[in-house]
Amino acid sequence: MQQFNTVIIGMGRMGRTRYQEMTRHGGFNITGVCDNNLECIQDYSGNKYSDWKECIDNEQPEVVVVCTVNAVIPDIVCYALDKGCHVFSEKPPGRNLKDTLRMKEKYDKTNGLVLKFGFNHRYHNSIIEAKSLIDSGFLGDVVAARGVYGKAANLMRDEWRNNIDIAGGGILLDQGIHMLDLLRYFVGDFSEISGFTDNLVWKESAGEDTAFATMRTQDGKVATLHSSAIQWKHKFDLDIMLTDGYIALNGLLTSTKSYGEESITYYKKDLEIKSGKIGNPKEYTMCFDEDSSWELEIKEFYDALTGRGIVENGTIEDATQVMSLIDKVYKKNND
């Protein structure tokens, strides 16, 4: 198996997850890890750095994996691309659209490099099934979607995520971005968006605890998003309305299982009442007890590196589109 010399910058929770998955995959030779908190890297073999520039300069890797806080993502991504490295970066792609466009501009000037962002939700089983169901045409065409993504968060806790200068935004940028990406994935590119953010509970927080958005595509498909840090429990629900049926995605399988069982339910419209009761069509449900999302995401990145595939998910275009939507909601709020 071809191995790529790799460094991971940022060894917090996501860095450790990527380290494990890339090691398990076998196609990455992780020669160095970097974190400004040395406690985070003391247990890892290989060279250890607290300065990301030094890490890239010394290791001269083929692949740079960026798992840092939002504020430094664009600097590292651009520097790595300049050095001719392939890059895998966590979401969000920077703190704002300007950050993302900076990376896009840099990437557009490269030739043959791979750049992928970690929109990991696309690799969950329920999402894969839903995409396949939609693409099969079995339920007709998508016309509308409604996404709710919520968590129980303390926005006053002392952590980088709650520092607006480092994070760039609140719940919409941190978590809602995944649901926005999925809405784009299933419905299409949105040409219109209206929405607002608010601090309904965490009044002193610089980042919002609530965001609502309504979007429409050029051809009239509609989607709504409710992103919440004040759900007070973890919740993931995505409903997709099609011309001949309906798909509901509920729950998301995570290591803590706090988002509940991951499932997809679908049914065909049954206006002739074959099921025997009006409004109760026959449902088909799939539920999943394995999360292969990390593995599949890294596999796609590796296949793109070896030329066996391309980056289909988490492209710079995906990143730009979704950050553009978030940018518009934040701007409307500030108007």
Partner 1 sequence: MLRSYQYTEKSYLDVSVQNNYFRNKEIDIAKEYVNAHPSSKNSKKECPVCHIPSGEYYYTKWGVDYLCCMNCRSIYAVCDDSIAKDYQNLSELITLRVDKTYQNELLKNREEMWGEFIEWAEYRAFRFLRKNKGLNIVDIGNRMEGYSNMIKAAPFCERYDLRDSILCSDSHTINKGEADIVFWFDQLQKELNPSEKISMIRKELKECGLLFVGTRAGSGFDIITLKEKNTNIYPYEHILLVSVKGLTKLLEDNGFEVLEITTPGVMDVKYVKESIEEVGDREGFVRYLLEESSPGILQDFQRFLQKGCLSSFVRVIARRI
For residues 273 and 287, the answer to whether their CB atoms sit within 8 Å is: no
Phi, psi of 87 (to 5 degrees): -135, 135
How many other CB atoms are found less than 10 A from the CB of residue 23? 12
| Minimum gap (Å) between residue 281 Cβ and partner 1 | 8
For residues 253 and 125, the answer to whether their CB atoms sit within 8 Å is: yes
Q: Rule CB under 8 A: which residues touch partner 1?
A: 125, 129, 132-133, 135-136, 138, 268, 274-277, 280, 282-290
| Minimum gap (Å) between residue 1 Cβ and partner 1 | 19
Residue number, 111 or 136, with CB nearest to partner 1: 136
For residues 208 and 197, the answer to whether their CB atoms sit within 8 Å is: yes
Residue number, 3 or 132, with CB nearest to partner 1: 132
| Minimum gap (Å) between residue 138 Cβ and partner 1 | 5
Radius of gyration, alpha carbons of the chain: 21
Cis peptide before 92 (omega within 30 of 0): yes
Residue number, 231 or 263, with CB nearest to partner 1: 263
Residue number, 23 or 132, with CB nearest to partner 1: 132
| Minimum gap (Å) between residue 233 Cβ and partner 1 | 22
| Minimum gap (Å) between residue 23 Cβ and partner 1 | 24
Residue number, 118 or 281, with CB nearest to partner 1: 281
Residues linked to residue 33 through DSSP beta bridges, in sequence order: 8, 48
For residues 44 and 60, the answer to whether their CB atoms sit within 8 Å is: no
